[in-house]
Amino acid sequence: MKVLVTGGAGYIGSITAAELVQAGHAVVVFDNLYQGHRAAVHPDAAFIEGDLRDTDAVKRLFQEHKGIDGIMHFASFTLVGESMEQPLMYLRDNVIAGSNLLEQAAAHNVGRFILSSTANLFDDPQTMPIEPDDRIVPGSPYGESKFFLERLLHWFERIYGMRYACLRYFNAAGDTANRGEDHDPETHLIPIVLQVALGQRDKVIIFGDDYPTNDGTCVRDYVHVVDLAQAHMLALENIQDIGSRKYNLGNGNGFSVLEVINAARKVTGHAIPLEVGPRRPGDPAVLIASSTNIREELGWEPRYPDLEQIVSSAWEWHSAHPHGYAK
Protein backbone atom coordinates (compact mmCIF):
# COMPACT_ATOMS: atom_id res chain seq x y z
CA MET A 1 0.00 0.00 0.00
CA LYS A 2 0.97 3.63 -0.35
CA VAL A 3 0.79 5.11 3.13
CA LEU A 4 1.00 8.75 4.20
CA VAL A 5 2.51 9.08 7.68
CA THR A 6 2.00 12.51 9.21
CA GLY A 7 4.41 13.14 12.06
CA GLY A 8 6.62 10.44 10.58
CA ALA A 9 9.78 12.17 11.85
CA GLY A 10 8.58 11.99 15.46
CA TYR A 11 9.07 9.28 18.05
CA ILE A 12 6.20 6.86 17.37
CA GLY A 13 5.66 8.01 13.76
CA SER A 14 9.26 7.45 12.65
CA ILE A 15 9.43 3.98 14.17
CA THR A 16 6.09 3.01 12.60
CA ALA A 17 7.14 4.45 9.23
CA ALA A 18 10.32 2.34 9.36
CA GLU A 19 8.26 -0.78 10.14
CA LEU A 20 5.98 0.05 7.18
CA VAL A 21 8.97 0.40 4.84
CA GLN A 22 10.38 -2.90 6.11
CA ALA A 23 7.01 -4.57 5.47
CA GLY A 24 7.18 -3.43 1.83
CA HIS A 25 4.81 -0.45 1.86
CA ALA A 26 5.53 2.78 -0.02
CA VAL A 27 5.76 5.49 2.63
CA VAL A 28 5.36 9.26 2.36
CA VAL A 29 6.30 11.18 5.51
CA PHE A 30 4.89 14.67 6.13
CA ASP A 31 6.27 16.47 9.17
CA ASN A 32 6.93 20.08 10.22
CA LEU A 33 9.98 19.03 12.28
CA TYR A 34 8.63 20.89 15.32
CA GLN A 35 9.47 17.90 17.54
CA GLY A 36 10.47 15.52 14.76
CA HIS A 37 13.96 14.90 13.39
CA ARG A 38 14.89 14.63 9.72
CA ALA A 39 17.42 11.93 10.65
CA ALA A 40 14.63 9.79 12.11
CA VAL A 41 12.93 9.40 8.71
CA HIS A 42 13.69 6.07 7.07
CA PRO A 43 15.89 6.68 3.98
CA ASP A 44 13.48 4.78 1.74
CA ALA A 45 10.51 6.96 2.69
CA ALA A 46 9.68 10.11 0.70
CA PHE A 47 9.95 13.13 2.99
CA ILE A 48 8.03 16.40 2.76
CA GLU A 49 8.58 19.13 5.31
CA GLY A 50 5.30 20.91 5.86
CA ASP A 51 2.62 21.89 8.31
CA LEU A 52 -0.89 20.45 8.31
CA ARG A 53 -2.29 23.79 9.48
CA ASP A 54 -1.29 25.19 6.06
CA THR A 55 -4.17 24.23 3.74
CA ASP A 56 -2.17 24.90 0.56
CA ALA A 57 0.67 22.68 1.73
CA VAL A 58 -1.77 19.86 2.41
CA LYS A 59 -3.39 20.29 -1.03
CA ARG A 60 0.04 20.17 -2.69
CA LEU A 61 0.94 17.06 -0.74
CA PHE A 62 -2.01 15.16 -2.20
CA GLN A 63 -1.48 16.58 -5.69
CA GLU A 64 2.15 15.49 -5.69
CA HIS A 65 1.54 12.09 -4.12
CA LYS A 66 -1.40 10.52 -5.91
CA GLY A 67 -2.86 7.16 -5.03
CA ILE A 68 -2.52 7.22 -1.23
CA ASP A 69 -4.31 4.13 0.12
CA GLY A 70 -4.06 4.88 3.79
CA ILE A 71 -3.07 7.56 6.30
CA MET A 72 -1.49 7.22 9.72
CA HIS A 73 -1.96 10.52 11.49
CA PHE A 74 0.66 10.97 14.22
CA ALA A 75 1.35 14.69 13.75
CA SER A 76 0.07 16.54 16.79
CA PHE A 77 0.86 18.57 19.83
CA THR A 78 0.89 15.82 22.45
CA LEU A 79 1.42 17.10 25.98
CA VAL A 80 -1.36 17.08 28.55
CA GLY A 81 0.36 19.64 30.78
CA GLU A 82 1.10 22.04 27.93
CA SER A 83 -2.52 21.81 26.79
CA MET A 84 -3.65 23.02 30.22
CA GLU A 85 -1.48 26.11 29.74
CA GLN A 86 -2.07 26.70 26.03
CA PRO A 87 -5.48 25.19 25.28
CA LEU A 88 -5.79 26.64 21.77
CA MET A 89 -2.60 24.95 20.59
CA TYR A 90 -4.69 21.84 21.04
CA LEU A 91 -8.36 22.76 20.66
CA ARG A 92 -7.59 24.90 17.61
CA ASP A 93 -4.32 23.72 16.04
CA ASN A 94 -4.66 19.95 16.50
CA VAL A 95 -8.23 20.15 15.27
CA ILE A 96 -7.43 22.37 12.25
CA ALA A 97 -4.49 20.16 11.29
CA GLY A 98 -6.63 17.02 11.43
CA SER A 99 -9.52 18.69 9.60
CA ASN A 100 -7.27 19.88 6.75
CA LEU A 101 -5.87 16.39 6.41
CA LEU A 102 -9.29 14.75 6.42
CA GLU A 103 -10.64 17.23 3.89
CA GLN A 104 -7.96 16.29 1.36
CA ALA A 105 -8.14 12.61 2.29
CA ALA A 106 -11.85 12.56 1.44
CA ALA A 107 -11.31 14.60 -1.74
CA HIS A 108 -8.76 11.99 -2.88
CA ASN A 109 -10.84 8.97 -1.84
CA VAL A 110 -8.44 7.68 0.79
CA GLY A 111 -10.17 4.63 2.24
CA ARG A 112 -8.22 4.01 5.45
CA PHE A 113 -7.29 6.36 8.29
CA ILE A 114 -5.45 5.42 11.47
CA LEU A 115 -5.59 8.05 14.21
CA SER A 116 -3.13 8.33 17.10
CA SER A 117 -5.47 8.81 20.02
CA THR A 118 -4.89 8.73 23.74
CA ALA A 119 -5.66 7.31 27.18
CA ASN A 120 -6.38 10.92 28.14
CA LEU A 121 -9.94 10.32 26.87
CA PHE A 122 -10.55 8.44 30.11
CA ASP A 123 -10.25 10.87 32.97
CA ASP A 124 -12.91 9.12 35.02
CA PRO A 125 -12.84 5.44 34.08
CA GLN A 126 -15.63 3.14 35.22
CA THR A 127 -13.46 0.02 35.05
CA MET A 128 -9.75 -0.79 35.37
CA PRO A 129 -8.35 -1.96 32.98
CA ILE A 130 -10.10 0.57 30.78
CA GLU A 131 -12.28 -0.86 28.03
CA PRO A 132 -12.41 1.01 24.69
CA ASP A 133 -16.14 1.63 25.14
CA ASP A 134 -15.74 3.07 28.65
CA ARG A 135 -17.27 6.50 28.97
CA ILE A 136 -15.24 9.30 27.47
CA VAL A 137 -14.28 12.16 29.77
CA PRO A 138 -11.31 14.00 28.21
CA GLY A 139 -8.79 14.92 30.89
CA SER A 140 -7.40 18.00 29.15
CA PRO A 141 -7.63 20.10 25.98
CA TYR A 142 -5.20 17.57 24.49
CA GLY A 143 -7.61 14.69 25.15
CA GLU A 144 -10.53 16.80 23.93
CA SER A 145 -8.73 17.54 20.65
CA LYS A 146 -8.24 13.80 20.05
CA PHE A 147 -11.86 13.12 20.95
CA PHE A 148 -12.94 15.70 18.41
CA LEU A 149 -10.84 13.97 15.73
CA GLU A 150 -12.42 10.65 16.68
CA ARG A 151 -15.82 12.28 16.17
CA LEU A 152 -14.74 13.74 12.82
CA LEU A 153 -13.80 10.23 11.72
CA HIS A 154 -17.21 8.95 12.77
CA TRP A 155 -18.82 11.45 10.39
CA PHE A 156 -16.28 10.94 7.61
CA GLU A 157 -17.12 7.27 7.62
CA ARG A 158 -20.87 7.98 7.55
CA ILE A 159 -20.55 10.57 4.79
CA TYR A 160 -17.57 9.46 2.69
CA GLY A 161 -17.21 5.79 3.62
CA MET A 162 -13.69 6.27 5.01
CA ARG A 163 -12.75 3.36 7.30
CA TYR A 164 -10.83 4.30 10.41
CA ALA A 165 -9.15 3.01 13.54
CA CYS A 166 -8.66 5.12 16.65
CA LEU A 167 -5.66 3.81 18.57
CA ARG A 168 -5.57 5.10 22.12
CA TYR A 169 -2.01 4.72 23.31
CA PHE A 170 -1.38 4.35 26.99
CA ASN A 171 2.33 4.98 27.81
CA ALA A 172 4.43 4.54 24.67
CA ALA A 173 7.97 3.59 25.66
CA GLY A 174 11.11 1.82 24.47
CA ASP A 175 13.20 2.41 21.36
CA THR A 176 14.72 0.53 18.45
CA ALA A 177 18.42 0.34 17.55
CA ASN A 178 18.14 3.21 15.04
CA ARG A 179 15.31 5.37 16.31
CA GLY A 180 14.33 6.64 19.73
CA GLU A 181 12.53 9.12 21.92
CA ASP A 182 14.09 12.58 21.67
CA HIS A 183 11.84 15.44 22.79
CA ASP A 184 12.88 18.95 23.67
CA PRO A 185 12.06 19.58 26.44
CA GLU A 186 11.81 15.97 27.61
CA THR A 187 8.87 15.39 29.95
CA HIS A 188 8.45 11.59 29.84
CA LEU A 189 9.47 9.39 32.72
CA ILE A 190 11.68 6.75 31.07
CA PRO A 191 13.91 9.12 29.04
CA ILE A 192 14.22 11.40 32.08
CA VAL A 193 15.29 8.48 34.27
CA LEU A 194 17.84 7.45 31.63
CA GLN A 195 19.18 11.01 31.46
CA VAL A 196 20.01 10.63 35.16
CA ALA A 197 21.84 7.37 34.39
CA LEU A 198 23.76 9.22 31.66
CA GLY A 199 24.81 11.93 34.12
CA GLN A 200 22.75 14.60 32.35
CA ARG A 201 20.49 15.20 35.35
CA ASP A 202 21.22 14.85 39.07
CA LYS A 203 18.02 13.06 40.04
CA VAL A 204 14.49 12.13 39.10
CA ILE A 205 11.67 14.04 40.73
CA ILE A 206 8.72 11.76 41.45
CA PHE A 207 5.49 13.67 40.97
CA GLY A 208 3.74 12.67 44.17
CA ASP A 209 3.93 9.57 46.39
CA ASP A 210 0.58 9.90 48.11
CA TYR A 211 -1.63 8.29 45.45
CA PRO A 212 -3.89 5.37 46.39
CA THR A 213 -1.52 2.78 44.86
CA ASN A 214 0.71 0.10 46.45
CA ASP A 215 3.74 2.35 46.82
CA GLY A 216 1.94 5.70 46.53
CA THR A 217 3.30 6.56 43.07
CA CYS A 218 1.24 6.65 39.86
CA VAL A 219 0.70 3.44 37.92
CA ARG A 220 0.86 3.40 34.13
CA ASP A 221 0.65 0.81 31.35
CA TYR A 222 3.95 1.04 29.41
CA VAL A 223 3.73 -0.37 25.90
CA HIS A 224 6.67 -0.82 23.55
CA VAL A 225 6.68 1.51 20.56
CA VAL A 226 7.35 -1.40 18.18
CA ASP A 227 4.22 -3.12 19.50
CA LEU A 228 2.32 0.10 18.84
CA ALA A 229 3.73 0.14 15.31
CA GLN A 230 2.52 -3.42 14.76
CA ALA A 231 -0.96 -2.46 15.95
CA HIS A 232 -1.01 0.34 13.37
CA MET A 233 -0.08 -2.03 10.57
CA LEU A 234 -2.66 -4.61 11.60
CA ALA A 235 -5.35 -1.94 11.75
CA LEU A 236 -4.34 -0.54 8.36
CA GLU A 237 -4.47 -3.98 6.76
CA ASN A 238 -7.77 -5.06 8.29
CA ILE A 239 -10.22 -2.19 8.70
CA GLN A 240 -11.53 -2.48 5.16
CA ASP A 241 -12.70 -6.00 6.03
CA ILE A 242 -13.69 -5.76 9.67
CA GLY A 243 -14.89 -2.14 9.75
CA SER A 244 -13.85 0.89 11.77
CA ARG A 245 -12.57 0.25 15.27
CA LYS A 246 -11.46 1.87 18.50
CA TYR A 247 -8.68 0.13 20.38
CA ASN A 248 -6.95 0.85 23.70
CA LEU A 249 -3.30 -0.12 23.40
CA GLY A 250 -1.37 -1.33 26.40
CA ASN A 251 -0.02 -4.51 27.94
CA GLY A 252 -2.73 -4.69 30.57
CA ASN A 253 -0.07 -4.45 33.32
CA GLY A 254 0.46 -1.42 35.46
CA PHE A 255 3.84 -0.34 36.80
CA SER A 256 4.41 2.40 39.35
CA VAL A 257 6.88 5.24 38.91
CA LEU A 258 9.08 3.59 41.55
CA GLU A 259 8.97 0.27 39.71
CA VAL A 260 10.10 2.01 36.53
CA ILE A 261 13.00 3.64 38.38
CA ASN A 262 13.96 0.29 39.93
CA ALA A 263 13.88 -1.39 36.51
CA ALA A 264 16.17 1.36 35.18
CA ARG A 265 18.54 0.91 38.15
CA LYS A 266 18.82 -2.76 37.27
CA VAL A 267 19.25 -2.19 33.53
CA THR A 268 21.77 0.66 33.80
CA GLY A 269 23.60 -0.27 37.01
CA HIS A 270 23.26 3.38 38.08
CA ALA A 271 21.88 4.34 41.51
CA ILE A 272 19.46 6.89 39.97
CA PRO A 273 18.85 9.22 42.92
CA LEU A 274 15.32 10.47 43.36
CA GLU A 275 13.37 13.07 45.22
CA VAL A 276 9.65 13.22 45.86
CA GLY A 277 8.01 16.40 44.63
CA PRO A 278 4.42 17.59 44.40
CA ARG A 279 1.82 15.92 42.21
CA ARG A 280 1.66 17.00 38.56
CA PRO A 281 -1.75 18.51 37.76
CA GLY A 282 -3.95 16.23 35.69
CA ASP A 283 -2.20 12.93 36.59
CA PRO A 284 -4.69 10.16 37.41
CA ALA A 285 -3.48 7.55 39.94
CA VAL A 286 -3.81 4.51 37.67
CA LEU A 287 -4.18 4.03 33.90
CA ILE A 288 -4.21 0.49 32.53
CA ALA A 289 -5.56 -0.50 29.12
CA SER A 290 -7.80 -3.36 28.21
CA SER A 291 -6.63 -4.40 24.74
CA THR A 292 -8.75 -7.55 24.57
CA ASN A 293 -10.62 -6.47 21.45
CA ILE A 294 -7.52 -5.85 19.30
CA ARG A 295 -5.96 -9.09 20.55
CA GLU A 296 -9.09 -11.04 19.64
CA GLU A 297 -9.99 -9.28 16.40
CA LEU A 298 -6.55 -8.70 14.89
CA GLY A 299 -4.38 -11.16 16.80
CA TRP A 300 -2.25 -8.33 18.21
CA GLU A 301 0.24 -9.80 20.65
CA PRO A 302 2.77 -7.41 22.21
CA ARG A 303 6.27 -8.78 21.65
CA TYR A 304 7.88 -6.71 24.40
CA PRO A 305 5.44 -6.74 27.33
CA ASP A 306 8.15 -6.90 29.99
CA LEU A 307 9.06 -3.61 31.70
CA GLU A 308 12.77 -4.45 31.92
CA GLN A 309 12.85 -5.28 28.20
CA ILE A 310 11.17 -1.96 27.42
CA VAL A 311 13.58 0.02 29.61
CA SER A 312 16.59 -1.85 28.28
CA SER A 313 15.65 -1.15 24.65
CA ALA A 314 15.40 2.54 25.59
CA TRP A 315 18.76 2.36 27.39
CA GLU A 316 20.40 0.85 24.32
CA TRP A 317 19.31 3.76 22.15
CA HIS A 318 19.91 6.51 24.72
CA SER A 319 23.37 5.26 25.68
CA ALA A 320 24.33 5.04 22.00
CA HIS A 321 22.77 8.50 21.31
CA PRO A 322 23.29 10.46 24.54
CA HIS A 323 22.30 13.68 22.82
CA GLY A 324 19.50 12.16 20.78
CA TYR A 325 19.54 12.84 17.05
CA ALA A 326 21.89 15.80 17.56
CA LYS A 327 24.61 13.18 18.39
With CB under 6 A as the contact rule, which of the stretches 60-68, 131-139, 187-195, 242-250 interacts with ligand UDP? 187-195
Q: For residue 274, which of 285, 282, 264 has the smallest C-alpha distance? A: 264
| Binding residues among 67-96 for ligand UDP as defined by CB under 6 A | 80
- Rg, C-alpha atoms of the chain: 19
Decide if residue 220 touches ligand UDP (CB under 6 A).
yes
User: From the list 108, 207, 270, 321, which residue makes contact with ligand UDP (rule: CB under 6 A)?
Assistant: 207
- Residue 142 falls in the annotated catalytic set: yes
Decide if residue 280 touches ligand UDP (CB under 6 A).
yes
| Binding residues among 238-257 for ligand UDP as defined by CB under 6 A | 257
Least distance between ligand UDP and beta carbon 259 (Å): 11
User: From the list 5, 75, 152, 189, which residue makes contact with ligand UDP (rule: CB under 6 A)?
Assistant: 189
- The residue with its CB nearest to ligand UDP is 218
Least distance between ligand UDP and beta carbon 309 (Å): 17
Distance between CA atoms of 321 and 315, rounded to whole angstroms? Answer: 10
Decide if residue 205 touches ligand UDP (CB under 6 A).
yes
Active-site option among 11, 90, 142, 164: 142
User: From the list 218, 225, 233, 263, which residue makes contact with ligand UDP (rule: CB under 6 A)?
Assistant: 218
Distance between CA atoms of 280 and 154, rounded to whole angstroms? Answer: 33
Say how many CA atoms lie within 13 Å of 314 toward its Cβ.
32
Q: Which is nearer to ligand UDP, 81 or 111 (CB)?
A: 81
Decide if residue 187 touches ligand UDP (CB under 6 A).
yes
Q: Which is nearer to ligand UDP, 156 or 222 (CB)?
A: 222
Q: Which is nearer to ligand UDP, 163 or 224 (CB)?
A: 224
Distance between CA atoms of 97 and 61, rounded to whole angstroms? Answer: 14
User: From the list 12, 115, 162, 192, which residue makes contact with ligand UDP (rule: CB under 6 A)?
Assistant: 192
Decide if residue 283 touches ligand UDP (CB under 6 A).
yes
Decide if residue 209 touches ligand UDP (CB under 6 A).
no
User: 282 with 80: CB under 8 angstroms?
Assistant: yes
Decide if residue 171 touches ligand UDP (CB under 6 A).
yes
Distance between CA atoms of 231 and 228, rounded to whole angstroms? Answer: 5
Residue numbers at the binding site for ligand UDP (CB under 6 A) = 80, 171, 187-189, 192, 204-207, 218, 220, 257, 280, 283
The residues carrying an active-site annotation are: 142
